[in-house]
Chains A and B, each alone.
Chain A
């Protein structure tokens, strides 16, 4: 043992000095390198994992949203076409109705017009008859008062009748 100590120059002071050196190394490496870096690394891997999970959820949501959007769009299209078809039908109906009404109106107006015309005609005829009667009466009066010849009388009648033809 003595020879080992002397041949290797074993020195408790240097041994302790080296122990202190090593203690410093452990402290520095652990406190300032391994611990914070390990924390950072585990935090980062947790972040990455979370990010990946989030991305997956997002992708799923996107797919779902797309499907929903497609569905909504299809529904909207169908509704729109339904509305359009109904509107067309309504319009058709309205048109027919209006046409019908117009026809009725026209026939009504026409009927009315005919009636008015008839009435006018009748009234005119009546007026003419009245006038004729009064004319005939006045002519007769004239003839009677002036002593008119047969020839004049005939001419008078003729002109009166011609007037009404």
Chain B
């Protein structure tokens, strides 16, 4: 074929492997994540050595960010106690996702490997947003959802948490309250079923968290690739800005949803409805922002 010498670059749905260590594949997304971790460690080390009571520029900047993040988290959780306990996780997620998102838009994307495949030579960039790989986003989402359930157990107790999903309390109340309220014969099984739905909902949370982030970042990469393919100069610039913005918004959405899940988990079943609306509201608002 003619285009055998032409180098193809397709943005694949999955992260491409760039190296092998034993039977462990190092993908470009994983490499980016490592760089992200290195950047964070470097930054924190720099910050830690210059930590003092009268802040320097770096510390001052970080303090402003931290302060703002705290007040935002307070607005979401509505309780300082929950905020202080969840904040480290949410803030870490935010930082990790944000830097991962932004690393993907860096122009270093043009450094990479050439790999000869069945359909000719294809180009594999070294850097791909860590969050443009489902493995990363699922890992984060699992952390968030499992973490929120553990947090719920710590906050309101294992038995109450268990009854959120497998509502034995509702079933038990059939026998204890049936004489006073016969209607409980009808409502208790429904309550039990709702609990089961909650269980499915937890799985849905993992899916929605991970695929929302992955989809947005991956779409950004595809978009930039497509624009560059149409006309490589100037044309992608506005989209680069857009991607910077999307990266920030997605990091924010992810971390705020984590806060919301933790807040819900810390609440008792009785106040659950309020929390549910809160979740829907936040989700809706963030989506609105994202699509604006």
A residues lining the B interface (CB < 8 Å): 7-11, 13-19, 21-22, 24-26, 28-30, 32-38, 40-41, 43-44
Count of inter-chain pairs, beta carbons less than 8 A? 107
Contacting pair B40 A17 (CB below 8 A):
no
Choice from B14, B27, B66, B92 contacting A38 with Cβ under 8 Å: B66
Residues of B within 8 A of A41 (CB): 63, 66-67
- Of A13, A21, A24, A34, the residue contacting B87 (CB under 8 A) is A34
B122 contacts partner chain A, Cβ-Cβ < 8 Å: no
* B290 adjacent to chain A (CB < 8 Å): no
Tell whether, in the assembled complex, residue B30 and residue A14 are in contact, meaning their CB atoms are under 8 Å apart: yes
CB pair B135–A11 under 8 Å, yes or no, is: yes
Contacts of A19 in B (CB 8 A): 139, 142-143
B138 touching A9 by the CB < 8 A rule? no
A18 proximity list for chain B (CB < 8 A): 30, 33, 130, 133, 135-136, 139-140
The one of B13, B47, B48, B93 in contact with A7, judged by C-beta atoms closer than 8 angstroms, is B13
B92 & A25 in contact (Cβ 8 Å cutoff): yes
Contacts of A22 in B (CB 8 A): 92-93, 96, 139-140, 143
Partner of A33 from B48, B140, B142 at Cβ < 8 Å: B48
For the complex of A and B, the 4 pairs showing the least CB-CB separation, nearest first, are A9-B14, A18-B139, A30-B88, A8-B134
Q: Does B36 contact A (CB under 8 A)?
A: yes
> Chain A nearest CB: distance from B26 CB in Å?
9
Output the nearest chain A residue to B48 by Cβ-Cβ distance. A32
| Residues on A with beta carbons closer than 8 Å to the beta carbon of B88 | 26, 29-30, 34-35
User: Which chain B residues numbered 1 to 37 have a C-beta less than 8 Å away from chain A?
Assistant: 13-15, 24-25, 27, 29-30, 33-34, 36-37
Instruction: Please tell me if B72 contacts chain A, counting CB pairs below 8 Å.
Output: no
- Residue numbers in B under 8 Å from A33 (CB-CB): 44, 47-48, 62
Residue numbers of B with Cβ under 8 A of A are: 13-15, 24-25, 27, 29-30, 33-34, 36-37, 40-41, 44-45, 47-48, 51, 53, 59, 62-63, 66-67, 87-89, 91-93, 95-96, 130, 133-136, 138-140, 142-143
- Docked Cα-Cα span, A18 to B130, in Å, equals 9
Contacts of B96 in A (CB 8 A): 21-22, 25
- Contacts A19-B143, A21-B36; is A10 near B138 (CB within 8 Å)? yes
Considering the chains assembled together, what is the distance between the CA atoms of A17 and B34 in angstroms? 10
Residue in A13, A34, A38 with the greatest tally of chain B CB atoms within 10 Å: A34
Contacting residue for B30 out of A17, A35, A36, CB 8 A:
A17
Are B33's CB and A37's CB within 8 A? no
- Residues on A with C-beta less than 8 A from B24 are 13
From B44, B51, B87, give the contact of A28 (CB < 8 A).
B44
- B91 & A28 in contact (Cβ 8 Å cutoff): no
Q: Would you give the shortest CB distance from A161 to chain B, in whole angstroms?
A: 127
Tell me, in angstroms, the Cα distance from A43 to B33 when the chains sit together.
Answer: 34
- Residues of A within 8 Å of B33, CB to CB, are 17-18, 21
Closest Cβ neighbor of A16 among chain B residues: B139
When distances are taken between beta carbons in the complex, the residues of chain A under 8 Å from B15 are 9, 14
Nearest Cβ in chain B — how far from A14, in angstroms? 4
A25 to B47, CA, bound (A): 15
Measured between beta carbons, the chain B residues less than 8 angstroms from A8 are 13-14, 134-135
Apart from A7-B14, A14-B29, 13 more pairs, CB < 8 Å:
A8-B135, A9-B13, A9-B15, A10-B138, A14-B25, A15-B139, A19-B139, A22-B139, A24-B41, A25-B40, A25-B95, A34-B91, A35-B88
- Given that A24-B37, A37-B59 are known contacts, is A15 also in contact with B25, CB under 8 Å in the complex? no
